[in-house]
Amino acid sequence: MYPINPKEAIKKVLSEAERSGERRVLVIKGHEFNSIKDVVEELSREKSVLCVGLPETGNVRTISYEETDSVLGSTFDALFADLSDELRPNDLGILVETVRGGGIIVFLVPDDWLSRLTRFQRELISPPYTERDVRQAFKRRFLESLGSEGVWLLDGEKLMGVERSVEKKKTEKPQSDDPVESLSMSEDQLNVIRTILSSAASPKKQIIAITANRGRGKSAALGLAASLILGRRISRSIGVTASSPDGVQIFFSFLKKGLEAQGMKYNEVKRDGKTVAVISGRRMVFYRSPISMSELDIRIKIVDEAATVPVHLLFRIARKSRLSVFATTVHGYEGSGRGFTMKFLKAMESKNTRFLRLEMRIPIRYPEGDPVELWLYRLLLLDAEPASVKEDEIRYEKLDPEKLDEEKLREFYGIYVLAHYRNRPDDLAMMLDAPHHHMRAVLMGDNVVAAAQICEEGRLNKSMIDAIMERKDSPPGHMIPSRILVHYGNKEFCKLWGWRIVRIAVHPELQGRGIGSRMLSFIHEEAEDAGVDWIGAGFGASPELLKFWLKNGFLPVHMSPQRSDVSGEYSVFVIKPVSEKARRSIEELNAEFKRRILSTLHDVYFDADPEVIRLVLSAGTHEERPRLRFSQILRLRDYIREFNTYEMASDAIKELLISYFMSRAGSLPEDAERILIAKNLQGRPWPLIVRIARKKTMKETIDKVRECVRSLYELYSDVLPRLE
């Protein structure tokens, strides 16, 4: 290979891209932007060029990395980005996807790239670790991925890569006389638009699921279809949701294009700079959070990036609409579509409801088989899959991110992709580079069958503790100690060393066999040997997850006072003591936590799932005697004897329940605990208690509540007068 300078390299690689109609990547190592400035200006005269993190040049559009989201949905012929001081994997995924087929992506990196930190890497530093402790595994992964077909590296004067000779494929845009349909860029998009439109016009209940890889124009098709529903007066309102308003901005962009194509005027409603509603005359399309959308009873609902929304909310959204459209990326930085496919779609297909499933395969900006798409998928593990299961003995293994081979990393990360986690490229880089994050696996034979990501927390000094308490610039990380400080002021706990389990997941074919619990046991043993004081976790509180953590000896110590807008769940933090010093502290925290929950159930947590509350109150035993006055005992006994109503004894029942859940939880049947929590501690109305108690009539429900209270009273026969 003869010596070549940056300008010549760009022209050579771009020429190959133009001949093939595919995209090409060129990474230029060890050269400043000035060496290619002339080429950038020359290209900008004939092509659309985007520069990121570079000095402004002529008429070229130049943005900072903080503005990456602003180019979502845009298309360029060339991208130039300086990775010297910033390489944020989420941005990498977004920016590469803005370049059309026949275009080039040029990244600049310095010679000493592996000995310096990007801004993203600096954000990964959590005390007591320093800059020297940050790993460079993701950058190495990036550099090692270069030199394959379509992905070139210019190192000094040496251009390395594999020439790819393919003929330019002709792609014909679908034809339609309809002005909105003519905006579609592929037959897949046109099919989605027409299917949604015909289903919206049908009087029958319909569920449509759309799956696609990234770059297939899924959100654009949804927006165009919605514009036709309004334009043809099929429905006066459409609700759209995603995990946040950011997730529906492309949808709204194409909704507006569709309305404009029909000559329809509209007004936008914005919140924090994001479109949340478009109104045209008496018709409107509006955004709501997933939890709010699940509670709305409207005719048409659209869920974009459905994989990022908890499955139980998807079922509720489908239940309360005549037409519900669920679209998601199967492989992408928005989230994992695999859990959506395995759980939601399989359940929908098994029901009698009219169900349609569409798949979008054709890329919009570049041809199928584009080598840059394949490179990006491999680099960011967007298509990672767990290994095939072969029965064997299991063993626990610490994985070193800097020595981990590609196959094992893909198996490890593939388990997360199939789990309920929302996976983003930033998460991968954090796992590989953050000094306080660690990877642990359970292997069956040579294959990963369970994965855990651990984050070190605690060991805070006085200045860090004071910064958190005073809401100043608190140290990054330390999620559990921060909440303990803010809610309890327990400074001693925050000096202890803890491991927070950020993620834990088991191969889907092996779930329910105790492997997750075995992994927690392995982690506990390792923590003991290392001198760690506690292990903890934080998660959206569902009964299934709570049961898993509680059965493994973890105690709840905090529950968020607000529901998540996305999942509708309250976040719960649980901790398991490892050292004796931590045990005393955690038991005190659990006792205080239970008292706080019990005293705020009627207010802060009045709408929480009674089963979730039952579970968080079932862990931990703390001696507490009932404090009933004589008049309360009298009214309580008369209620049990059916001499008076529930309302006359409610205050006495509450006093007894507070003592029960502090000291004797689990002594009553689970259904009795749920009923008493819902009626007495949360103050739910009687019609709702009928459903919770699973009774047919109000009388049966009233009798059931009285029976539960009688059983509760008899538990305290040692301290209360006996019933005659």
- Return left, alpha or beta for 305; rule: phi > 0 is left, psi -120 to 50 is alpha, else beta: left
Binding residues: 189, 365, 504-506, 544
Domain that holds residue 477: 394-600
Question: Strand pairing of 283-287 and 237-241?
Answer: parallel
Specify the pLDDT at position 348: 76
For the chain, how many residues are written?
Answer: 724
Number of domains in the chain: 4
| CB-based contacts of 203, cutoff 8 Å, min separation 6 | none
Confidence band for 352, pLDDT divided at 50, 70 and 90: low
Name the β-bridge partners of 573: 538, 558
Q: What are phi and psi of 407, to 5 degrees?
A: -60, -45
Which residues are known binding-site members for acetyl-CoA?
504-506, 544
The pLDDT assigned to 85 comes to 95
Could you tell me if residue 562 is inside a domain?
Answer: yes
Which residue positions form the known binding site for ATP?
189, 365
**Average pLDDT value for residue range 417-436:** 86
- For 391, the token pair is 């029965």
Query: Backbone phi, then psi, for 103, in 5-degree steps?
Result: -105, 175
Instruction: Please indicate, yes or no, whether residues 645 and 586 belong to a single structural domain of this protein.
Output: no
As a whole number of angstroms, the distance between CA 510 and CA 519 comes to 13
Q: Are residues 231 and 328 in the same domain?
A: yes
Residues 596, 488, single domain; the answer is yes
Q: What is the pLDDT of residue 469?
A: 87
Task: Report the share of the chain in percent with pLDDT over 70.
Answer: 97
Does residue 46 fall inside a structural domain? yes
Both 579 and 705 in a single domain? no
Residue 611 lies in a domain: no
How far, in Å, are 134, 475, 537, 603, 676 from residue 572 at the CA level?
Answer: 30, 22, 8, 18, 22
Helix (H) / strand (E) element for 627: namely: none
Q: Which residues are 396's β-sheet partners?
A: 442
In a domain, 618, yes or no: no
Same domain (yes/no): 262, 121: no
The set of long-range contacts for 29-32, using a CB threshold of 8 Å and a minimum separation of 24, is: 29/109, 29/110, 29/111, 29/113, 29/153, 29/154, 29/155, 29/156, 30/109, 30/110, 30/111, 30/155, 30/156, 31/6, 31/108, 31/154, 32/108
- Per-residue burial over 73-88, b if 16 or more Cβ lie within 10 Å, else e, is eeebbbbbbbbbbbbb
Which element (helix H / strand E) includes 238?
Answer: strand 237-241
Same domain for 434 and 572? Answer: yes
pTM exceeding 0.75: yes
Contact call for residues 154 and 4 (beta carbons, < 8 A): yes
Which of 336, 360, 384 is the last residue before a domain boundary? 360
pLDDT 10s digits, 57-91: 888 999 999 999 889 878 999 999 999 999 999 99
How far, in Å, CA of 379 to CA of 367, rounded? Answer: 20
- Of 423 and 333, the one with more pLDDT: 423
Task: Report pLDDT digits (tens) over 295-347.
Answer: 999 999 999 988 888 888 888 998 889 999 999 887 654 444 455 666 677 77
What single-letter amino acid sits at 622?
A: H
- Alpha-helical (H) ranges within 56-160 are 89-96, 119-122, 137-144
Whether 573 and 642 map to the same domain: the answer is: no
Considering the domain architecture, whether residues 154 and 185 belong to the same structural domain is answered as: no
Tens digits of residue pLDDT in 166-220: 888 777 789 899 999 999 999 999 999 999 999 999 999 999 999 898 889 999 9
Q: Is residue 253 part of a domain?
A: yes
Q: Please report, for the domain that includes residue 405, its CATH number.
A: 3.40.630.30
Contact 575, 536 (CB under 8 A): yes
186 and 149 co-located in one domain:
no
Residues 276, 245: contact at Cβ < 8 Å? yes
Query: How does the average pLDDT of the chain come out, rounded?
Result: 92
What contacts 113, CB < 8 A, 6 or more positions away? 29, 83, 84, 139, 143
Residue 290, helix vs strand vs coil: helix
Does residue 168 sit within a domain? no
Please write the tens of the pLDDT for every residue from 86-119.
999 999 999 999 999 999 999 999 999 999 999 9
Give the residue, 226 or 566, on which the prediction is more confident.
226
Any domain includes 129:
yes
What's the confidence (pLDDT) of residue 334? Answer: 45
Domain boundary among 129, 160, 191: 160
Q: Which two tokens mark 152?
A: 């070139």
Same domain, 190 and 237: yes
Q: State whether 121 and 223 are in the same domain.
A: no
Tokens matching residue 690? 């009928």
Give the integer Cα–Cα distance in Å for 380 and 372.
12
Domain with 27 in it: what CATH number? 3.40.50.11040
CA distance 281 to 277: 13
- Check whether 528 has a pLDDT greater than 60: yes
Q: What are the distances in angstroms from CA 87 to CA 65, 70, 335, 528?
A: 9, 17, 20, 37
What is the distance of C-alpha 331 from the center of its chain?
Answer: 14
Q: How far apart are CA 604 and CA 607, in angstroms?
A: 8
According to the 3-state scheme, what is the secondary structure of 365-381? CCCCCCHHHHHHHHHHC
- The helix (run of H) or strand (run of E) holding residue 494 is helix 491-494
Q: Which two tokens stand for residue 227?
A: 């514009």
User: Does residue 66 form part of some domain?
Assistant: yes
Beta bridge partners of 451: 441, 505
Q: pLDDT tens for residues 616-659?
A: 999 998 988 898 999 999 999 999 999 999 999 999 999 999 99
The pLDDT tens digits for 443-491 are 999 999 999 999 999 999 999 998 888 887 777 889 999 999 999 999 9
Rg, the chain, Cα only: 29
Judged against a pLDDT cut of 50, whether residue 612 lies above it is answered with yes
Contact 304, 327 (CB under 8 A): yes
The whole-number pLDDT of residue 566 equals: 74
What CATH number is given to the structural domain containing 192? 3.40.50.300
Find how far residue 19's CA is from the centre of its chain: 40
Clarify whether residues 322 and 282 are in a common domain.
Answer: yes
